[in-house]
């Protein structure tokens, strides 16, 4: 437990060391979300009535997830000597990797949800009350029978992002090549959309069918994958590899 506290501190330090990637990712996400609310963007044939709809206007597989990988991957290459000086055993290095993923996912979910809330609030309360005609900005639909829970959506968003991030770490551990991992994971996530569509199911359907079980199952999967990363880092042969992470 003692080193866990240190681990969190070190991960926080890593996140603070290079702020360019954080600024770039949140800047691009913010720019595109804000552009979604300005006049001129009403050409797209997508309607929304809740924050969740608004956020998922940019598809998770094609936009949010690559943006997250961009953030995570740029945080992921830490100088080997720094890692060696920080930690005593390999378990701690494994925990470090998992914690980077969790903190990045937390940050990313926070940014996306906050921007979503701000943009939708802007349209709902500032633009919409004074609007005479129904050419609403980004085809905003004021009333809908479906009221999706925002908290549940953020929770699922965070869990899916964390799980995919940890899978990225695992693939990266196996191939020791960040770009190959990005290519593989992006391919799998898009393939999932075209075949069994797990991620769209989790976002759109799970809420009405079994919300609590979904959250529990996703958390369990995240914990299992996290332990796999920890155990695999103890069995890894570091002497044949260029970098530790």
Residues forming contacts to another protein in the complex (CB under 8 A) are 18, 20-21, 24, 28, 32, 35-36, 40-44, 58, 62-63, 66, 70, 73-74, 76-77, 177-180, 182-183, 186-187, 190-191, 194
Distance CA 45, CA 138 (A): 8
The H-assigned helical ranges of 77-89 are 80-86
Distance CA 151, CA 237 (A): 42
Q: In whole angstroms, how far apart are CA 98 and each of 84, 118, 235?
A: 17, 30, 16
> Would you say 33 or 218 has its CB closer to another protein?
33
Distance CA 88, CA 95 (A): 12
150 and 53 Cβ atoms separated by less than 8 Å = no
> Would you say 121 or 191 has its CB closer to another protein?
191
Cβ at position 45, least distance to another protein in Å: 9
> Would you say 187 or 227 has its CB closer to another protein?
187
Cβ at position 18, least distance to another protein in Å: 7
Cβ at position 234, least distance to another protein in Å: 26
Cβ at position 223, least distance to another protein in Å: 28
Distance CA 164, CA 158 (A): 10
Cβ at position 243, least distance to another protein in Å: 12
Q: 3-class SS at 140? A: strand
Question: What sign has the CA pseudo-torsion 75, 80, 85, 88?
Answer: positive
> Would you say 196 or 216 has its CB closer to another protein?
196
Cβ at position 134, least distance to another protein in Å: 18
What crossing angle do the helices spanning 90-121 and 211-235 adopt, rounded to 10°? 150
45 and 138 Cβ atoms separated by less than 8 Å = no
> Would you say 234 or 241 has its CB closer to another protein?
241
> Would you say 100 or 218 has its CB closer to another protein?
100
């Amino acid at each position: 437990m003692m080193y866990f506290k240190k681990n969190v501190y070190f991960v926080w330090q890593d996140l603070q060391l290079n702020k360019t990637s954080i600024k770039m990712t949140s800047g691009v996400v913010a720019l595109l979300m804000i552009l979604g609310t300005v006049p001129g963007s009403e050409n797209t044939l997508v309607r929304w009535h809740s924050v969740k709809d608004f956020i998922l206007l940019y598809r998770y597989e094609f936009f949010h997830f690559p943006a997250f990988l961009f953030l995570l991957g740029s945080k992921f290459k830490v100088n080997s000597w720094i890692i060696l000086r920080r930690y005593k055993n390999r378990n701690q290095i494994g925990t470090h990797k998992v914690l980077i993923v969790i903190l990045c996912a937390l940050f990313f979910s926070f940014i996306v949800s906050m921007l979503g809330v701000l943009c939708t609030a802007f349209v709902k309360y500032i633009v919409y009350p004074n609007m005479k005609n129904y050419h609403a900005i980004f085809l905003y639909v004021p009333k809908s029978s479906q009221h999706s829970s925002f908290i549940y959506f953020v929770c699922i968003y965070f869990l899916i992002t964390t799980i995919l991030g940890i899978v990225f770490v695992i693939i990266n551990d196996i191939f020791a090549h960040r770009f190959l991992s990005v290519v593989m994971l992006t391919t799998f996530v898009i393939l999932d959309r075209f075949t069994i569509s797990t991620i769209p199911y989790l976002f759109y359907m799970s809420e009405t069918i079994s919300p609590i079980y979904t959250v529990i199952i996703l958390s369990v999967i995240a914990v299992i994958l996290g332990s796999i990363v920890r155990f695999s880092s103890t069995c890894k042969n570091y002497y044949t590899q260029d970098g530790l992470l």
